[in-house]
Amino acid sequence: MPDSILLWFKSFIPPKSNVDRFERMRSCAGSLFGILLAGLVSYAILPHDPKTIWLIAPMGASAVLLFAVPASPLAQPWSIIGGNLCAALIGVTCAKLVQEPALSAALAISLAIGAMFLLRCIHPPSGAVALTAVLGGPVVHEMGYAFVLAPVALNSVLLLLTALFFNNASGRRYPHAQQSAAPHPHQTRDELPITRLGFSHEDLDEVLKNYNQVIDIGRDDLEEIFLRTEMRAYHRRFGETRCASVMSRDVVAVEFATSLDEAWRLLQQHRLRALPVLDRALHVIGIVSRTDFLEHAGVEVHTGLAAQLRRLLHRVPFSHSDKPEVVGQIMSRPVISANVETPVLELVPRMADGLHQIPVVDADGKLAGMLTQSDMIAALYEKNLAAARGMPGLRSVA
C-alpha cells in the first residue's frame, strides 16, 4: 500500500485523549446513576402495563453528553429539555400525518433539526427521539402525544436532575453559562484591561461567525482555553516569577477585634489601600480596605466625607450599639489569596480587572506577604526588560 494512502487512513485515527482516568471513571459512574435513576423512577411512576414504555433508547445518547461532555452547549439543560420535547412533538405529528414511514422519518428529523436551530436547543439525541416517535411501532403510535410527556419529558427531567447533582458533586461545573461575559464592572464601554492587549470578545465572536459551524464547546470555555494558551506561551518565553520573589514581606495587618479608628490610622500612616485581617494563628480571615470604611460610613453629599468618617470612627460610650466598632464588623470576606509558590502571571487577570492587592500565604496557610499592583508591574517590567536584553531575570524562579 502506498505511503500516501496509509497516511490518509492514519489521519482519521483520533489523537490520544487528554482526559485522565478519574474523569473517565467519573463519566461512566454518572451515566450509570443517571440511567438507573431515570429508569427506576419512571418504572415506579408509570403504570405497570406491557404497553408502557418507561425508558427510551435516546436517553443513552443524552447521558453521554450530560456526563461525558457536560461543558458542551449540546448538553445544557435547555438543550436536552427543549430539544427532546420539540423533537417528540414533531415526530408524533409526522407519524400521524404522513403514512409512509420512510418519508415520515425523514421529515421528522429534518423538521426537528430546524426547530432546534430556531429554539437554540441543539441536542443530537433528540434526532433519535423524533425517529422513535415515527418508527417506534404500534405501542408508540397508540400513545400519541402522551409519548411527549411520558416517557420523553419524564426521562429527560430525571436525567437532567441527576446530571445537575452528580456533575457538581464530582467537581464539574454544570450547567455552563451560555451568554457572553458580564460587562465591565465600571459600566463603561471599555473592555476589561486584561482583554485590551489580547483578543477581544468581538474578535472571538467574529471568528465564530465566519467559522459558521456548530462547535461542541461553550463560548466561555473556548475563550478560557485561548487565554490559558496565551498564558502558557508567555510562561514558556519568559519563565515564571513566583509570588515569594516579589511580594512585600513586612505586612501591616490587623486582627478581628482591632478598633476601626486604629485600623484607619494604620491605613493613613502607611498610605495603604487595604489591611489583611488575621486570626491568632496568623491565618487570613478577611481584608479591610478604604472602600469598606466608606461604604459603612454611609457617605452622603450633604453631610460630607470627613463628617461621616468621624462618626464611624468615633467610639460610642455604651456597650451595646448597632454601629460597627471593630474591623471584623466591616471587613470583606472570603478573601482571594495566593500561595508563595503561585506564578505571578496567574494573578494578572485578577489584578488587572479590579483587585489592588492579594494576600500571600505559606504552605501552612499563614500570612507570608502581600502582592500589590506595584509589585506586579515591577516584576513584569523586570522580566520583559531581561528578555529584551537576552538575559535571565534576576528574580526568576524556575
- As given in the structure block, the three cell numbers for residue 80 are 436536552
Q: Which range among 68-72, 208-212, 305-309 has the greatest average pLDDT?
A: 68-72
3-state SS assignment for residue 277:
strand
* C-alpha dihedral, 10 to 12 to 16 to 19, nearest 10°: 180
pLDDT tens-place string over residues 258-303: 988 888 889 889 888 889 999 988 999 999 988 888 776 654 444 5
Identify the CA nearest to 323 among candidates 287, 289, 306, 298.
Answer: 298
201: enclosing H helix or E strand:
helix 201-211
- Arithmetic mean of pLDDT over the chain: 80
Please give the backbone phi and psi of residue 105, each rounded to the nearest 5 degrees, phi first: -65, -45
Long-range contacts of 381-390 (CB under 8 A, 24+ apart): 382/241, 383/238, 383/239, 383/241, 384/238, 387/237, 387/238
* Average pLDDT of span 157-179: 88
Q: Which domains does the chain have, with CATH numbers?
A: 21-169 (no CATH), 193-238 (no CATH), 243-314+322-388 (3.10.580.10)
The alpha carbon of 380 is separated from its chain's Cα centroid by a whole number of angstroms, namely: 27
Look up the pTM and report it.
Answer: 0.59
- Point out which residues pair with 255 in neighbouring strands: 278
Amino acid at 261: D
* Residue 360 · residue 339 · CB < 8 Å: yes
Question: What are the distances in angstroms from CA 141 to CA 91, 95, 145?
Answer: 10, 8, 9
* C-alpha dihedral, 214 to 215 to 217 to 223, nearest 10°: -100
Question: What are the distances in angstroms from CA 364 to CA 81, 132, 282, 360, 375?
Answer: 47, 58, 10, 11, 23
Integer Cα distance of 185 and 353 in angstroms: 9
Integer Cα distance of 254 and 259 in angstroms: 9
Lowest mean pLDDT among 29-38, 94-103, 385-394: 385-394
* Residue 56 · residue 156 · CB < 8 Å: no
Integer Cα distance of 163 and 282 in angstroms: 40
Whether residue 191 has pLDDT greater than 70: no
What pLDDT does 336 receive? Answer: 85
Amino acid at 8: W
pLDDT tens-place string over residues 78-105: 999 999 999 999 999 999 999 999 999 9
